[in-house]
Structure 1
């Protein structure tokens, strides 16, 4: 298997871990059978369950005008009524995930409809990549308002 194939499998492990944690805490996946572009509306307005999430949810166009799909969009009517987006990034060895962090950061700041958390795993991020992303979050005025 090539490096790209291993990265996809490892990234899927991170996403399955997030999903397991959500389920252990009482969250239910909804919208699984809907087209990705229809999941957000259903998720936001659903009365199906109080604690819910969907995977690969279309949230609109990004900074380049292309479609953005987030890894997880989570709602809890009580504790996170505006929703929370979770993005999972895995980089086990040298590659391009850390090079995509500036693009992700700018999309989060300008295009995401809800607060976002970026989970990073693996040992292959370039030195300084995580510190750079952390600095962007701490200097983002909209992130400060959402705390």
Structure 2
């Protein structure tokens, strides 16, 4: 298996674990077969106080004017009445994810419209890059936290 295929597979495992956590807290996925660009409208219209989420949701344009599709968009959480975005970043081997953090941070700060948390996993990230990302929280009103998987589960047990 080449590195790209392996990276997609391992990233999928992190997302599946996050999805299991959401389901464990009573969230249900809405219409996974909908096109990415229709999911957010459908999600916001169909909630009626039911805890819902969608995966790979188009939320608009990035700082580079390309499409942004977030990993998870959650609605009807008592703690987050406007919604919550969850982004997952997995890096098993040394690679470029460290360099993607500033881009993600700037997108969260300027393009995302609701609170966002980022979940990082794997051993390929430099600790300094994770520390840098966490230091951005006070200056980025949309960035609530940067967590490893265990920290996310603890956070979810309190707020979801």
- Verify same fold: TM over 0.5: yes
Q: How far off is 1:49 after superposition?
A: 5.7
Alpha-carbon distance change, 14 to 45 in structure 1, aligned in 2, over 3 angstroms: same
Q: How far off is 1:78 after superposition?
A: 3.0
Q: How far off is 1:45 after superposition?
A: 1.9
Alpha-carbon distance change, 30 to 144 in structure 1, aligned in 2, over 3 angstroms: closer
TM-score, structure 1 as length reference: 0.91
Q: What pairs up with 1:14-29 in 2 under 5 angstroms? A: 14-29=14-29
Contact 2:108 2:142 in 1 (8 A): no
CA distance in 1, matches of 2:65, 2:85: 20
Which SS does the other structure have where 2:103 is aligned?
helix
Contact 1:28 1:49 in 2 (8 A): no
Q: How far off is 1:32 after superposition?
A: 0.9
Structure 1 unaligned segments of length 5 or more: list them.
none
Q: What pairs up with 1:15-94 in 2 under 5 angstroms? A: 15-47=15-47, 50-76=50-76, 78-94=78-94
Structure 2 unaligned segments of length 5 or more: list them.
145-160
Which SS does the other structure have where 2:18 is aligned?
helix
CA distance in 2, matches of 1:2, 1:60: 31
Which SS does the other structure have where 2:92 is aligned?
coil
CA distance in 1, matches of 2:33, 2:137: 34
TM-score, structure 2 as length reference: 0.84
Deviations 1:91-138 (A, max 9, x none): 111111121111000000000011100000000002410011011112
RMSD: 1.7
Which residue in 1 is equivalent to 2:157? Answer: none
Contact 1:7 1:92 in 2 (8 A): yes
